[in-house]
Amino acid sequence: MRDVTTAEARKNLADLLNEVAYAGEQVVVTRHGRRIAAIVPVEDLTLLQRLRRILGESDAEQALRELADGTSVSWADLRETLDK
């Protein structure tokens, strides 16, 4: 993975896209030294989306287990805790 500035990315976009698409490279775009975006292969994006979905599902499954076994926190208790 390498960093390029926004100016470099604009100037070399076609080459960057080829590196990402055909060589599997990952490129991070920076502005004023801060990382602001990434150009990644579609396969990497697909994997990230699947992982997010799986993690979301496991969180939902955990919440349902807590409801079933009575260890969940009520909305009133949660709200009271958040208001503190």
User: What is the residue extent of each domain of the chain?
Assistant: 2-40, 43-83
Instruction: Check residue 35 and report its DSSP letter.
Output: E
- What tokens appear for 29 in the block? 């775009």
CA–CA separation, 20 vs 37, rounded Å?
14
Task: Determine the residue type at 41.
Answer: P
Q: How far apart are CA 38 and CA 6, in angstroms?
A: 11
Does residue 79 carry a pLDDT above 80?
A: no
pLDDT band at 34 (very low <50, low <70, confident <90, very high): very high
Q: What is the pTM of this model?
A: 0.66
CA–CA dist 38, 52 (Å, integer): 17
Mean pLDDT of the chain: 90
Q: Tell me, which fold does domain 2-40 have in CATH?
A: YefM-like fold (3.40.1620)
Q: Which residues pair with 5 in a beta bridge?
A: 30
